Amino acid sequence: MLIRRLAAEERLTTSFPLQAYAFEASPLTRERVEAFHRYLPYNKGNRTLVVEEDGETCAAASAVPMRQNLRGAVLPMAGVAGVATHPLARRKGHVRALLHQLLDEMRDGGHPLTALYPFRASFYEKFGYVGLPRARTVRFSPADLGPLLRAELPGTVTWERIGAGYDRFRSFTERCLRERHGFAIFPDFRDVGLRDRDDRWLLTATIDGSTVGALTYRIDDHGGELVGDDLLATDPYARALLLQFLARHVDQVERISLQVPADELPELWLTDLAVHVEARVARPGSSAPMARLLTVDALAGLPAGPGRVRVELVGDRWLAGTHLLDGATGHLELTSGGPAPTATLTAAGLSALAYGVLDPAEVDVRGLGDVGPDAAVELRRLFPRAHPHLFADF
Ligand SMILES: CC(C)(COP(=O)(O)OP(=O)(O)OC[C@H]1O[C@@H](n2cnc3c(N)ncnc32)[C@H](O)[C@@H]1OP(=O)(O)O)[C@@H](O)C(=O)NCCC(=O)NCCS
């Protein structure tokens, strides 16, 4: 089996057709094949590896060099995408070999984190990934936002096409990256696709000269739906400014839908707001994201409570060995000596604790480690529960 990295232009005839077969309606129209050229610049900085047999490409996988916030630290993250094997070559170990090499190379290139949207979570759990919460879709009628129309709010909103306001949006997502656990953004070469497609409205909220909220959206029809992407707001005033603008669409659309992080509670936004909140996870097609650490060094210096535990990392290609985790200084330190309760963790188990998505007892129950009660107490102090919001969709 030959694995090699593609040069940018080679994607047109190798990985793009393979990925299109796996993820799109097919056979492809001539227009769609011609559109591959337009998509090329947004892939240029990705690392794309393929498996070749007899000169034919039979499997592909890419990593997008992204950045992600892990409990306040902004770290390089490999966003894995476009994983596909030709149907005639499936179940021969191609993707296993590709993922091993791709993640080896991304980790060696300085990416301590990786995330993806799985077709099937159990497939990627074998590679050490653990599930993160899925963004919720919120649906309501603009009529129910009526009380906000009369609210006196500080700040202003700006309304424009994303093509015009892209720089403002990008710098606000950079702020969210610094401030919000789990938040991940694309590298510039990929992110500018949003500006270039220019198929969204951009609404931003500003208070005291700084951007505090943003929403990209489109309207599908008169009397139809205002379809929002992620509602990004740094505080309740920012959110209220954005919702107040949406309230003005009462005679224009029947419904509004938005994406919100899993810890957002829209039923508390307003009195008499009839709202439907949904997280749909289905196979294939509608997945919750997954993520993992590629090195324990990603933990060093993260804010932590005063716990102390020894973790033995097992069953993984990238995370191994025994490490003493100590939070006595308020920041995680990885040391070597001293007495402490011990837990055995898989890569998915440690990643679940680092991202804050599972309690140590759940790690034990889920079979992602062997965590006794004493070790669980220490791990709970070191890694309080948290709600990562991934944001980027790839
Ligand atoms: C899913 C897909 C990428 C797997 O590729 P592949 O080259 O057949 O995978 P491999 O042969 O390397 O399999 C690796 C392991 O996963 C298992 N596996 C493969 N496909 C699986 C599936 N659909 N469900 C569960 N396990 C699967 C294999 O048995 C193997 O297990 P092992 O390590 O215990 O032996 C391929 O079937 C495909 O292209 N599907 C359509 C596109 C898609 O869904 N891509 C994933 C996007 S996230």
Query: In this structure, are 94 and 191 located in the same domain?
Result: no
For residue 284, the model assigns a pLDDT of 84
Residue 389 lies in a domain: no
Among the atoms of ligand 1, which is closest to the Cα of residue 81? 48
Distance 152 CA to ligand 1 centre (A): 55
Query: In this structure, are 56 and 20 located in the same domain?
Result: yes
Residue 387 lies in a domain: no
Query: In this structure, are 26 and 93 located in the same domain?
Result: yes
Q: What is the mean pLDDT of each run of 10 residues along the chain (394 residues)?
A: 93 94 93 92 97 95 98 98 96 97 98 96 96 97 97 97 98 98 98 98 98 98 97 97 98 98 97 97 92 98 96 98 95 88 97 98 98 98 97 94
Start-end of H helices in the chain: 15-23, 30-39, 94-108, 121-125, 146-149, 162-179, 188-197, 236-247, 347-355, 360-365, 373-382
Query: In this structure, are 343 and 243 located in the same domain?
Result: no
pTM: 0.96
Query: In this structure, are 72 and 159 located in the same domain?
Result: no
For residue 361, the model assigns a pLDDT of 98
Residue 10 lies in a domain: yes
Residues with CB under 6 A from ligand 1: 22, 59, 83-85, 90-96, 118-120, 123, 284
Query: In this structure, are 17 and 141 located in the same domain?
Result: no
Distance 362 CA to ligand 1 centre (A): 27
Question: Which residue lies with its CA nearest to atom 34 of ligand 1?
Answer: 126
Distance 90 CA to ligand 1 centre (A): 7
Query: In this structure, are 212 and 262 located in the same domain?
Result: yes
**278, 311, 328: which is the final residue of a domain?**
278
Residue 122 lies in a domain: no
- Domain harbouring 271, CATH code: 3.40.630.30
For residue 337, the model assigns a pLDDT of 75
Residue 90 lies in a domain: yes
Residue 284 lies in a domain: no
**251, 278, 305: which is the final residue of a domain?**
278
**63, 87, 116: which is the final residue of a domain?**
116
Among the atoms of ligand 1, which is closest to the Cα of residue 96? 12
For residue 104, the model assigns a pLDDT of 98
Residue 32 lies in a domain: yes
**Residue 249 CB coordination number (10 Å):** 18
Query: In this structure, are 110 and 34 located in the same domain?
Result: yes
Query: In this structure, are 37 and 91 located in the same domain?
Result: yes
Query: In this structure, are 202 and 153 located in the same domain?
Result: yes
Distance 97 CA to ligand 1 centre (A): 11
For 25, the domain range is 2-116
Residue 394 lies in a domain: no
When divided into structural domains, the chain yields a total of: 3
Question: Which residue lies with its CA nearest to atom 12 of ligand 1?
Answer: 93
The encoded tokens of residue 41 equal 């610049």
For residue 130, the model assigns a pLDDT of 98
Question: Which residue lies with its CA nearest to atom 22 of ligand 1?
Answer: 123
Question: Which residue lies with its CA nearest to atom 41 of ligand 1?
Answer: 22
Query: In this structure, are 60 and 32 located in the same domain?
Result: yes
For residue 285, the model assigns a pLDDT of 83
Distance 34 CA to ligand 1 centre (A): 29
For residue 188, the model assigns a pLDDT of 98
| Helix 188-197 and helix 162-179, axial crossing angle in degrees, nearest 10 | 140
**Residue 281 CB coordination number (10 Å):** 11
Query: In this structure, are 107 and 187 located in the same domain?
Result: no
Q: What is the DSSP string of 121-168?
A: HHHHHTTT-EE-PPPEEEEE-GGGGHHHHT---SSEEEEEEHHHHHHH
Query: Which residue among 95, 101, 103, 394 is best mutated to probe the pocket of ligand 1, counting the most ligand atoms within 8 A of its Cβ?
Result: 95
Cβ contact 200:162 at 8 Å: yes
- Domain harbouring 370, CATH code: 3.30.1050.10
